[in-house]
Amino acid sequence: MGVNVNVYEKDLDNKWIKIDFGKLHKEMRRKNIVRKIKTVYVGRQKFKTTIVIEILPEREYEARSRKNKKGQNLSDKQKAQNGLNIYITNTDFKADEIGCYIQ
């Protein structure tokens, strides 16, 4: 999932809350959480879906970070997402509808 795709949750008052992957990454590391599964809303149209978030082992995170550092200035969101594998599941939409790219 590209960093240009916004991911939201709803709070108890049904208000949209944008997921901060930096905070999520730090929380998962601190609490030794390997995997989280969340019901979320993605893209401008806020399509409902499920995501699986897995934290990368430290070695893989560092390797990804080194790979991306070659002449690039990474945003905090990009750095946080380097440490996570994020899978979108149970979708009823196409990747281009939410601004994702397919490799």
Every domain of the chain and the residues it spans: 7-93
Residue 97 pLDDT: 56
Q: For residue 55, which of 88, 79, 25 has the smallest C-alpha distance?
A: 25
Residue 17 pLDDT: 94
Residue 6 pLDDT: 87
Residues β-bridged to residue 89 = 50
Three-class SS of 65-96:
HHHHCCCCCCCHHHHHHHCEEEEEECCCCCHH
Residue 68 pLDDT: 63
Residue 82 pLDDT: 77
Please list, in sequence order, all residues whose beta carbon lies within 8 angstroms of the beta carbon of residue 87, skipping any fewer than 6 positions away.
51, 52, 53, 54
Question: pTM of the prediction?
Answer: 0.72
Residue at 22: amino acid letter: G
Spans of the chain, pLDDT less than 70: 1-2, 67-72, 74-76, 91-103
Q: Are 50 and 89 in contact (CB under 8 A)?
A: yes
Residue 94 pLDDT: 59
The region that residue 47 occupies, defined by phi over 0 for left and psi between -120 and 50 for alpha, beta otherwise, is beta
Cα Rg, the chain, nearest whole Å = 14
Residues β-bridged to residue 10 = 16
